Structure 1
Amino acid sequence: MAPPSRRARTLRRTRGLPGFSRVTQSTSFPDRFDRVDRPEAAHVTRRLILLIVLAAGLAAVCALSWALAWQTGIDTLRRNAAVRGDRTTAALKSTLERYDSLPYIVGEHPLVQDVLADPKPEWVAAANRYLEDVNRHARATTTYIIRADGMSIAASNWHEADSFVGVNYQFRPYFIDAVKGGVGRFFAIGTISHDPGYYVSQPVRRDGKIVGVAVVKLNLEWFPGADASEPLLVTDDHGVIFLSSVPAWKYRTMSPLAPAVVAAIDATRQYANARLTPLPAGVERVLEGDADIVRIGSGLRAPRYLETRRALGEPDWHLVTMSSIDPVLDAARDTTIMTGFGYVSLCLLGFYWRMRRARVQEVMRSRAMLQKAYAMLNERVAERTADLSQANERLQQEVAERTRAEHELRATQDELIQASKLAALGQMAAGITHELNQPLAALRSFSDNTRVFLERGQYAAAEENLEAIGSLTERMGKIVNQLKLFVGRARPKSARSSVARALHNALALLGKRLNGVPIALTLHEDGAPPAPLDTHAGYPDLFAQSDDLRLEQVLINLLGNALDAVAEVSAPQLAVDVHASAATVSIAVRDNGPGIPEDVLPRLFEPFFTTKEMGQGLGLGLAISSSIARDCGGALTAANNEEGGACFTLTLRRARADAANAARAAGL
């Protein structure tokens, strides 16, 4: 039989303590008696009051949620309507303004002035052809001219069945305004073509006297075809809808017209025989600004819209946008329902929390009594003391282990610092070797050639080679002197370098490797066709913001990599494309080699990364070239050509020719 547990022994001992059982038995009785003695009526009353308060809170929260959701939805709807109105207004006004000056231009033509002053048949025929040509190029509906007595004598549609020639327009307001010396603007249905259009007119003057009127008619039936998701209207100064995305609303009025207005419209034949009946719209709510909530039609299911209005200026038109408020109502209803459910959930959660709190309090009272009993047991204190001693020993062991780990970490850091120093020294030595290999190879080639020239007695050629050897020696000295730029990444001086000269020097250094490999040099200048680039003659205005040594160094690396890429190609080809714009100069080196694998492209410019075999490269050429490009304020990128091969593009800022010459004269 197993011995009793420590907790069982403790409980067994506490049962024998005086007063313990009495305290345990008497703690819960007073609370139970209080609950029984509590008046039932008062308890029911408190519950009823609580339910009423919760119901009132639910109603208030739902009302507030509905009001906020409604106001937010209406504000969003107004902003969207404003954006749609701005876009439509801009499109309509730009169309009207584009043709606003066309009648004036037509009226300034001498042929138009002559035919209005003296309508000779040959002049009328010439005017008809001229107006037809102007109308076709301007893409207007009709262009015509009217004499001072209101008779149209020439029009762009002179050869059509519904020609405007011979029609009297003395009753039209646009004719009356133009004859008075102003600009006429009028929308109406044509009396001959029966097609609606916008008329704009200008007076035609000859020797300071008005001899007629030039008129251009535009078809605005495209409006608002680009945005017809919701109703969009345009009304004239009388409130008549003459443009609408809803065909049934066209030639309706926003409000009943006065008899005098109806008589004026009939006198000008503005809308022909159209019945100008009011649109069945009722205002349900007036909002701030030019916005109302209106109901179109009758009945509870009639659609409701948010109506916004704005003036177009000249002519005196108004743009009316109709936005359905059904989405706002749906959103407000959903928000209110969700808020109600959330409120009820919070109430239920509060009720659950209250019940749980009561139960937790009962449990805590019982636990407090047990803790008082346990506090009297010395055995528990002893066990706790033993546990603390063990924890202290473990803590001391952990402190010792952490101290030892800290010492090991410091030793490791010292070793890493020493390794970093060795790696920096190796990288510097590798960079020097990589950059001096090309000039050393060229020195070897020029020295051999000089010896041959001297044996043959070709002293001029030998002297030229000796000058090249001197230039290479100077270049090697500059490479060594500029090591601090590679180590410290200092920014270069604002030097300017000739692109043609740098290409010439780079090709001269790689002359032996370029034997048998054709290379095409092409210049692409903005505004000019592509042309071959002569590196000997150079391009006098093509300078890049970089010193000569660095630019040549990058070009030698790019051309050398291109030669390595076409080494195994049966018909190798290289191309150098120089793209010059006003701000930048880009040099693209292309080859027809195997190209760059996609997994290699992201790591191409990392130091010591190379795809060449062991001993053929250190992986520093492109890393150094990219660093030079960045220090000069440019960039070096790599990509694959669509027709095959790789393309490396060096982009630098372009320097002006006069600034480059001044910098060179100052010794920069």
Structure 2
Amino acid sequence: MALYPRPESAAVKRRAVVVFALAAVLIAACVVTWRITWLRGVDDIQQQAAVRADRTANALSSTLDRYESLSYLLASHPLVQEALEHPTADAIARANRYLEDANRHAHATVTYIVRADGLCLAASNWNLADTFVGSNYLFRPYFIDAMKGQVGRFFGIGTVSHEPGYFISQPVYRDGRIIGAAVVKLNLEWFPGSDAGEPLLVADNHGVIFLSSVPAWKYRAVAPLPASVTAAIERTRQYAQQTIAELPMATVRTIDANAQIVRVGDARFGPHFLATRRWLGSPAWQLITLSAIDPVRADARNAAAAVGFGFASICLLAFYWRTRRARLAEMIRGRAMLQAAYAELNERVAERTADLSAANARLQTEVGERTRAERELRAAHDELVQTSKLAALGQMAAGITHELNQPLAALRAFSDNTRVLLERGEQGAARENLEAIAALTERMGKITNQLKLFVGRAQPRTARAPVVRAVCNSLNVLQKRLQGVALEVTLHDSEAMSGGGSEPLDLAAEHPELVAYCDELRLEQALINLIGNALDAVSGVDAPRIGIEIGASFASLSLTVRDNGPGIPADVLPRLFEPFFTTKGMGEGLGLGLAIASSIARDCGGTLSARNMPEGGAAFVLMLRRALASNAQSDASAR
């Protein structure tokens, strides 16, 4: 038994795989060609059918519109009105002659007038054996519509002439009353002509075919008729004694809403057509054109056969060319192998020598690069440590500078005010200002003593601060900047107010129940930054407003600072609390206010968020943990 397949066997397998692959490609090419040719042919005959349907529908609609105008003229003529109002023998004779003359010039089938009780008084065929005079049309739908003041449109088989026709009726008015109807009957049997290759059908609103280029299809329904529709047709004697049977037409494929490929007749051998539908607005008829599909199928088969023969020819030529090329390549390859065998021995020796020399050089270069990289890494590490120290020192210095700006501005304001009060001799007010200056000086000392908070962030979370007092102190520091700004401070307590509304906050009261877990000085720092940021936002507003709302729940307290400024841009909002990020101009801010306030909130176990208000402006919400009143009081007494 052979362990490896023979070369001849492998070649045979490869050839078999190639043959199968080419056969698959041939079949796919024929299928794709047949499909493309079929779709293109169907699209062409669909366009032709659409043009034919539009042309036929326009011709039919124009004919019906022209004769609808004739019925209106008949209803407006004085002779017709006089015959219906006073049906004397002389009036009826004049009306008969007028209708006969109008019908002859208009080339209509019959024109006649019907009294309000349904009796025909005069007609254009008054002197013929099958005259309409004396017939009653009370049951006809077109007469019923005319007596309702509408235009009547109806296709049916005549009860007297037993000939199909299209009836158009108009109400006849006299002194504002409907006294009868004027009717025009048209024979549409000339339409649509006879063309067995391209059948044309017209069906009424019930789907019954009443005009067809194939006579055997007349008075057939394109879809099953409900019992109520069959009863209505029999009641109005629309198609006389004709039996309405369903046309054996089945939909094979739907192309769009108004075009389908249908099979007519036998379910197996019946011819296939492309059915294109057009709806006439008034009357509600549908025009169906049928285009033969067999030529499209024949073209698709011929195109697929041509592609198949062409592909097979190309494959045979390619096989011959490949065989010839393989023979030439084999000869050239044998000659080249003989020439390369000798050169290969000499090249191997040279290559081995060159490889050893190159490897030695690369090793020396790699050792030198590794030594240099280690020196650069140590230098970069030392530089990074030094840079980190300088960055930390700069951040602390910038933070202290930012926090001291507000108290320094307040000191300047209180000092100027105290000088003015001393000049006026108002000693009491000056003393109050000096006390405020002393408090601000103490506050600046506390700020400088809190450098460890910016380095280690080891702030205890058990410190408590009265929220209302912190708000008052912050407003006192910013008193000068608040001049000319409408300020509103409100309280929203979800426990005390069942309605959930807000009420003005009394800043003079103590409010011992509003205590948060936070250092009082740091809470004031955060509030000063938030209120100062709001003042910057409303600096260019005509009527600046700032609102401070204190929200209280069982476990938390929220401080919301709102303004009616321009709001926060969408691209700025994600970076709002980053250190040194500011939208102000050069020299107007360091970009640390919101970063410090956010850091204070996190250290106290709370959060700081920002959002734009629907009515305009921005809102910053500082959420803190709430301390119980009893715990706050005991902590205050212990201090």
TM-score, length-normalised on structure 2? Answer: 0.51
2:32 corresponds to: 64
Q: Which amino acid aligns with 1:157?
A: N
Question: Which of 62, 72, 81 is residue 49 of structure 2 equivalent to?
Answer: 81
| Shift of residue 361, structure 1, vs aligned partner | 3.7
1:42 and 1:363 map into 2 onto residues whose CA distance is: 22
1:343 and 1:154 map into 2 onto residues whose CA distance is: 78
1:90 and 1:368 map into 2 onto residues whose CA distance is: 81
2:196 and 2:305 map into 1 onto residues whose CA distance is: 33
In structure 2, relative to structure 1, the CA distance for the partners of 1:204 and 1:304 (3 Å cut) is same
1:334 corresponds to: 302
In structure 2, relative to structure 1, the CA distance for the partners of 1:361 and 1:39 (3 Å cut) is closer
Please say which structure displays the higher CA radius of gyration: 2
What do residues 344-374 of structure 1 show as CA deviations (whole Å, max 9, x unaligned)?
A: 11211211221222244467679999xxxxx
1:83 and 1:359 map into 2 onto residues whose CA distance is: 61
1:299 and 1:210 map into 2 onto residues whose CA distance is: 53
1:198 corresponds to: 166
2:12 corresponds to: 44
Answering whether residue 134 of structure 2 is matched by residue 163 of structure 1, we say no
1:96 corresponds to: 64
2:324 and 2:101 map into 1 onto residues whose CA distance is: 91
1:316 corresponds to: 284
2:197 and 2:167 map into 1 onto residues whose CA distance is: 28
Question: Which of 242, 264, 281 is residue 210 of structure 2 equivalent to?
Answer: 242
| Shift of residue 297, structure 1, vs aligned partner | 1.4
1:529 corresponds to: none
Unaligned runs of 5+ residues in structure 2 are 338-639
What do residues 133-165 of structure 1 show as CA deviations (whole Å, max 9, x unaligned)?
A: 000000000000001111000000000000000
1:213 and 1:264 map into 2 onto residues whose CA distance is: 22
2:325 and 2:192 map into 1 onto residues whose CA distance is: 65
| Shift of residue 55, structure 1, vs aligned partner | 1.3
| Shift of residue 202, structure 1, vs aligned partner | 0.4
2:194 and 2:226 map into 1 onto residues whose CA distance is: 34
1:475 corresponds to: none
Answering whether residue 277 of structure 2 is matched by residue 303 of structure 1, we say no
Answering whether residue 73 of structure 2 is matched by residue 119 of structure 1, we say no
In structure 2, relative to structure 1, the CA distance for the partners of 1:363 and 1:47 (3 Å cut) is closer
Answering whether residue 280 of structure 2 is matched by residue 289 of structure 1, we say no
2:421 corresponds to: none
Q: Which amino acid aligns with 1:86?
A: D
| Shift of residue 97, structure 1, vs aligned partner | 1.0
1:299 and 1:204 map into 2 onto residues whose CA distance is: 52
1:119 and 1:360 map into 2 onto residues whose CA distance is: 111
3-state SS of the aligned residue for 2:13? Answer: helix
Question: Which of 100, 122, 129 is residue 132 of structure 1 equivalent to?
Answer: 100
Answering whether residue 151 of structure 2 is matched by residue 183 of structure 1, we say yes
Answering whether residue 318 of structure 2 is matched by residue 350 of structure 1, we say yes
2:268 and 2:327 map into 1 onto residues whose CA distance is: 54
3-state SS of the aligned residue for 2:121? Answer: strand
2:336 and 2:115 map into 1 onto residues whose CA distance is: 112
3-state SS of the aligned residue for 2:282? Answer: coil
What do residues 325-362 of structure 1 show as CA deviations (whole Å, max 9, x unaligned)?
A: 10011011111111111111121121122122224446
| Shift of residue 87, structure 1, vs aligned partner | 1.3
1:38 and 1:222 map into 2 onto residues whose CA distance is: 82
2:304 and 2:196 map into 1 onto residues whose CA distance is: 31
Q: Contact between 2:195 and 2:214, CA under 8 Å: does it hold in 1?
A: no
Q: Contact between 2:57 and 2:278, CA under 8 Å: does it hold in 1?
A: no
Aligned residues: 337
What do residues 138-196 of structure 1 show as CA deviations (whole Å, max 9, x unaligned)?
A: 00000000011110000000000000000000100000001100000000000000010
1:572 corresponds to: none
In structure 2, relative to structure 1, the CA distance for the partners of 1:346 and 1:282 (3 Å cut) is same
Q: Which amino acid aligns with 2:66?
A: R
| Shift of residue 301, structure 1, vs aligned partner | 2.1
2:153 and 2:24 map into 1 onto residues whose CA distance is: 61
2:229 and 2:180 map into 1 onto residues whose CA distance is: 28
| Shift of residue 125, structure 1, vs aligned partner | 0.5
TM-score, length-normalised on structure 1? Answer: 0.49
Percent sequence identity is 59
Question: Which of 175, 182, 191 is residue 214 of structure 1 equivalent to?
Answer: 182
Q: How does 1:359-438 map to 2 (within 5 A)?
A: 359-361=327-329
2:123 and 2:204 map into 1 onto residues whose CA distance is: 27
2:177 and 2:331 map into 1 onto residues whose CA distance is: 108
1:257 corresponds to: 225
2:92 and 2:318 map into 1 onto residues whose CA distance is: 93
1:68 and 1:316 map into 2 onto residues whose CA distance is: 37
1:38 and 1:178 map into 2 onto residues whose CA distance is: 97
2:575 corresponds to: none
3-state SS of the aligned residue for 2:266? Answer: coil
2:55 and 2:125 map into 1 onto residues whose CA distance is: 33
2:74 corresponds to: 106
2:330 and 2:196 map into 1 onto residues whose CA distance is: 69
2:267 and 2:217 map into 1 onto residues whose CA distance is: 19
3-state SS of the aligned residue for 1:101? Answer: helix
| Shift of residue 73, structure 1, vs aligned partner | 1.1
What do residues 11-33 of structure 1 show as CA deviations (whole Å, max 9, x unaligned)?
A: xxxxxxxxxxxxxxxxxxxxxxx
3-state SS of the aligned residue for 1:300? Answer: coil
2:196 and 2:170 map into 1 onto residues whose CA distance is: 33
What do residues 115-142 of structure 1 show as CA deviations (whole Å, max 9, x unaligned)?
A: 1001010110110000000000000000
Answering whether residue 102 of structure 2 is matched by residue 143 of structure 1, we say no
1:363 and 1:76 map into 2 onto residues whose CA distance is: 56
In structure 2, relative to structure 1, the CA distance for the partners of 1:130 and 1:367 (3 Å cut) is farther
Unaligned runs of 5+ residues in structure 1 are 1-36, 370-668
1:132 and 1:360 map into 2 onto residues whose CA distance is: 98
What is the Cα-based RMSD across aligned positions, in Å?
A: 2.3
1:123 and 1:131 map into 2 onto residues whose CA distance is: 12
2:632 corresponds to: none
3-state SS of the aligned residue for 1:315? Answer: coil
1:192 and 1:368 map into 2 onto residues whose CA distance is: 105
What do residues 474-522 of structure 1 show as CA deviations (whole Å, max 9, x unaligned)?
A: xxxxxxxxxxxxxxxxxxxxxxxxxxxxxxxxxxxxxxxxxxxxxxxxx
Answering whether residue 215 of structure 2 is matched by residue 269 of structure 1, we say no
| Shift of residue 226, structure 1, vs aligned partner | 7.2
2:271 and 2:91 map into 1 onto residues whose CA distance is: 58
